[in-house]
Structure 1
Amino acid sequence: MKINWKIRFSKKNLTFVFRFIAALIVPVLAYMGLEATDFTNWKSVGDLLISFVTNPYLIGLTIFNAVNLIPDPTTKGLSDSKLAQNKILIEKDDK
């Protein structure tokens, strides 16, 4: 599996970064029946982290959700295209 991680997680690719973070957080909140507004203090965040770490199903679900975001749907298999692998900059679309 060849993926250009520098491009995926670069500052200029914030869409991917935010989607990846959401892929980690949303399954946990949905499984626990919580919303972001439920976290008004650090104790509630700590309690959620402990609940997450002690739940193997939720860990697996979160990993699966995050990994599912990584493959490029425009290519066959799990690797990036040769063009994407060789990119060093993200080009801006002027539409």
Structure 2
Amino acid sequence: MKINWKVRLKNPYFYVALVLAIVAPVGTYFGVNAEDLTTWSAIFDLAKRAVLNPYVVVTVIVSVATFLIDPTTKGLSDSSQALTYKAPKGDK
């Protein structure tokens, strides 16, 4: 699995998608609403419950894996063109 990590890590949307790939399955499984997360202790308690639940851990792993895969290429790797990028490609 060849991924151009240097370029992906330079893209701020990578981090937004990564956070969503982790938070969405956890929030969905536990039925979390915004008003449930008003203290740091509530957030840490939710994180602890998520890490201790094998189903949630597997769901998060699958979510992160599917977000990492480039759907425009065959297989799991970036395209040979994407592997040559030095920065995220912009529109021309």
TM-score (norm 1): 0.88
Higher-RCO chain (CA-CA 8 Å, sequence separation at least 6): 2
Partner of 1:85: 83
Matched with 1:20 is 18
Q: Which runs of 5+ in 1 are unaligned?
A: none
Structure 2 Cα separation of the partners of residues 57 and 92 of structure 1:
38
Shift of 1:2: 0.3
Alignment partners' CA distance in 2, 1:87 and 1:58: 35
4+ runs deviating over 3 angstroms: none
Tell me the distance in 2 between the aligned counterparts of 1:46 and 1:16.
24
Paired residues in the alignment total: 92
Identity of matched residues, %: 40
> Gaps spanning 5+ residues in structure 2: where?
none
User: Which amino acid is the alignment partner of residue 71 of structure 2?
Assistant: P
**68, 71, 83: which one aligns with 1:70:** 68
User: Offset of 1:8 from its aligned partner?
Assistant: 1.2
Alpha-carbon distance, 1:36 to partner: 3.1
Note the 1:32-47 alignment, pairs <5 A.
32-47=30-45
- Per-residue deviation at 1:54? 1.0
Which whole-Å CA distance do the structure 2 matches of 1:20 and 1:50 have between them? 19
The Cα RMSD (Å) is: 1.3
Structure 1 residue 9: Cα displacement? 1.8
State the partner residue of 1:52: 50
**TM-score, scaled relative to structure 2:** 0.91
In the TM superposition, what whole-angstrom CA distance separates every residue of 1:48-93 from its partner, at most 9, and x where no partner exists?
0111111011000001001111111111000000111111012332
* Offset from partner CA, 1:17-45 (integer Å, 9 cap, x none): 21111000010001000023321111101
